[in-house]
Chains A and B, each alone.
Chain A
């Protein structure tokens, strides 16, 4: 993973985002980082440096914010993000066995990305779909009333 995160990303998408913001105020930092992550799939170090020099927001402050919030990632993510819900309703309906199954099938622990960058596996505290527990999201798509088998089968549709 560290070798991947050292790669230098193209500045153009970041510049486009900066242009949309105009003058970046201190309280724009989180929306700015969200849009940059959306564009690159993660927050590349060289881009953060670039953002810092363009906005005057110290990169130390950026890293402070990035490491505080679960949404941000400093390493490249998979093409598809699996968010397996570990909320209360999912928990009492067996979410754990689904997480364990996904983890086994993909061969990665929670929070990591498969070597082929096909999937990143995350758990999320609740996606507000408790009525269909246990649930997971793949990218923006919801899947409910899962069993370990069903969850494993869902992944086959994502290349």
Chain B
């Protein structure tokens, strides 16, 4: 299974023969322990994989069972995740101490280890296919992610990756490829939703001695991580799409432009390219078709704006990443002034199955105007954070509740933020809206790259607007004054509102400025920079008004507008909050009711987070209640205090000495 000893495949027959040979050798099959070593790396997945290897070796099972470091399994909330095959059991939150049990019970006896399984109504659901999170999804783009070893091209080939390359390059003309993709209805997954086939056709038809393809993996939207997962988990599927796209437009050089903040994606993409080159799937005369292509990885250098096409090109050319007016479009004059097509990672990852399956099977999924599936990065206050893939047209309710398992802690759903800093929020009245490019746009949000952040009642919508505006203010390249200066002013206003210093007329000022920034900016960043503010004003104007008029943050999130208070009628002096307070603002002792010194308190609310739910003694106060409350002057024995105020809970105003 060493790529070095594999010889180049000269034509489609040799590729098919290689696939058959690998299948016969059992590559990618048999007894496998698939440890997600990409996203789950943050939860110690690599050490876990090593523990599996060590214990299997000790038990003499290392020849029969392979430990594979895979890409993302999707249900990231249970990280680190391990998929045991052929049983198909998905285990979560594993520790080194669980390894022995998995080997003994599952590997040796085929039985699940129940404590590591997903629980539904208290019952363990071992098989991945039966877990509600997966049942409610439709995995097309992510079908192999988590199953293959991204560092071995054999794993990809045995599953049929690159078959679409063979078909496109040797059985189809570039025009046929383009019309297949156009007819499939595939739209760009990077945000704008431009039809991919149409984009290719424009580039194909522009005269030019040299053309370029760029895979845009500059996934800068805070809250989106599907492109990262695809490059890390199934890099060959991305390369497959790139080869076909390059063939369609007539490019002989291509780039993967990936963020430097994604080191694993950089590593896996680089490795995949080397392996594909070694097998002859990149380079001269690919599969005997006469088509040449080489791909190079370029790392972004930390500028969100470089996700914008013309800025990305400037960056590739070694310039400051500033957008320029279009036309000319990159398809006409892009990298080095030559025709260039830029496609997003997820878009390219769809291409292989469109070519193999034919447009009919692809366009059967989705809605009238948006075909195929969409991957959403589900994060924020939702139970099942992770990557989910659903057909276009799935509703927000299906995504957040059926797949996502609902809001954490059972709190009410408030809104979902879609499309990152270019997007907006979808409040609860849109829970049953079928999501596709066109329907989302009508709400004032955008599909964007598919970041979907769930928010509950503890999320302040003014603060969210402030957060995104701060981001675009920092990331504005500065070329257009409305964007550079306008976002700055918007941020200042939002900042003062969340600081409790909002002024009458601020909301109108924000709307006016927002419209101005939208109208007066050259590129997508500026044109959409006001969306988060405008959309939160549209749906949550009352929250803005509460901040400005009543000095209250209804979500109790804005620190300047809250006070943290310990209810003397609930506190039992357990010291938990006292120990976490970073400023030592909490006085008290064992069994003494704790009291917060408001002069020392920074409203970090760490005490609020740790107060045992059964006591629920710490309260965030805002508005009028934050100025009217009274605390005990000093800690007293809680038993004495309770006697004083009687068994029934009294009001804080009854406190001794007040």
Contacts and interface: CB of A to CB of B under 8 A. Distances in A.
Contacts of A27: 316-318, 336
B298 A126 contact: no
Nearest to B408: A93
Given A65-B320, A104-B582, A132 B377 contact: no
Contacts of B469: none
B77 interface: yes
A58 B416 CA distance: 48
Nearest to B315: A30
Contacts of A158: none
B379 interface: yes
A131 B606 contact: no
Interface in B39-95: 39, 41-43, 76-77, 79
Given A130-B377, A132-B43, A88 B222 contact: yes
A97 B379 CA distance: 19
Contacts of B377: 130-131
Contact of B301 (A30, A94, A132): A30
B365 to A, nearest CB: 25
Interface in A121-146: 124-133, 135, 140, 142-145
Interface string B451-484: 1010100010000100110010001010000000
Interface in A100-158: 100-101, 104, 124-133, 135, 140, 142-145, 147-149
Contacts of B606: 97, 147-149
A64 B39 contact: no
Nearest to A125: B222
Nearest to B381: A92
Nearest to A33: B301
B220 A125 contact: yes
A40 interface: no
A42 to B, nearest CB: 14
A93 B380 contact: yes
Interface residues of B, number: 62
Contact of A34 (B223, B228, B261, B299): B299
B302 interface: yes
B260 interface: yes
A124 B261 contact: yes
A1 B453 CA distance: 39
Interface string B574-598: 0000001010000000000000000
B385 interface: yes
A88 B471 CA distance: 10
Contacts of B329: none
A103 B450 CA distance: 32
Contact of B42 (A68, A94, A132, A147): A132
A31 interface: yes
Contacts of B459: 92
Interface residues of A, number: 47
B386 interface: yes
A53 B42 CA distance: 43
A88 B42 contact: no
Contacts of A29: 318
B385 A130 contact: yes
Contacts of A135: 42
A137 to B, nearest CB: 8
A131 B386 contact: yes
Contacts of A145: 43
B243 to A, nearest CB: 23
A65 B321 CA distance: 8
Contact of B475 (A86, A100, A101, A125): A125
Interface stretch (A3-11, A14-22, A69-77): A69-77
Chain B binding surface SS class: mixed
A116 to B, nearest CB: 22
A99 B443 CA distance: 34
B609 interface: yes
Most chain-A CB neighbours within 10 Å: which of B320, B387, B420? B320
A89 B385 contact: yes
B387 to A, nearest CB: 8
Given A26-B318, A144-B79, A128 B224 contact: yes
Interface string B190-230: 00000000000000000000000000000111111100110
B417 interface: yes
B79 A34 contact: no
A29 B318 CA distance: 5
Nearest to A140: B263
B318 A91 contact: no
A141 B477 CA distance: 30
B604 interface: yes
B228 A131 contact: no
B261 A91 contact: no
A106 to B, nearest CB: 14
A34 B301 contact: yes
Interface in B223-243: 223-225, 228-229
Contact of A88 (B304, B380, B475): B380
A150 B427 CA distance: 33
B225 A70 contact: no
Contacts of A64: 320
Given A126-B223, A131-B76, A71 B453 contact: no
Contacts of A133: 379-380, 385
Contacts of B643: none
B298 A31 contact: yes
Interface string B527-547: 000000000000000000000
- Which are the 9 A-B pairs with shortest beta-carbon distances? A131-B76, A142-B42, A70-B302, A29-B318, A87-B222, A89-B379, A69-B301, A130-B379, A128-B225
Given A97-B606, A101-B582, 4 more contacts: A27-B318, A88-B380, A126-B222, A144-B42
Interface of A: 26-31, 33-34, 64-65, 68-72, 83, 86-89, 91-94, 97, 100-101, 104, 124-133, 135, 140, 142-145, 147-149
17 contacts: A34-B301, A71-B260, A71-B301, A72-B301, A86-B222, A87-B222, A88-B420, A88-B451, A100-B602, A125-B304, A126-B221, A130-B225, A130-B379, A132-B76, A132-B385, A144-B42, A147-B609
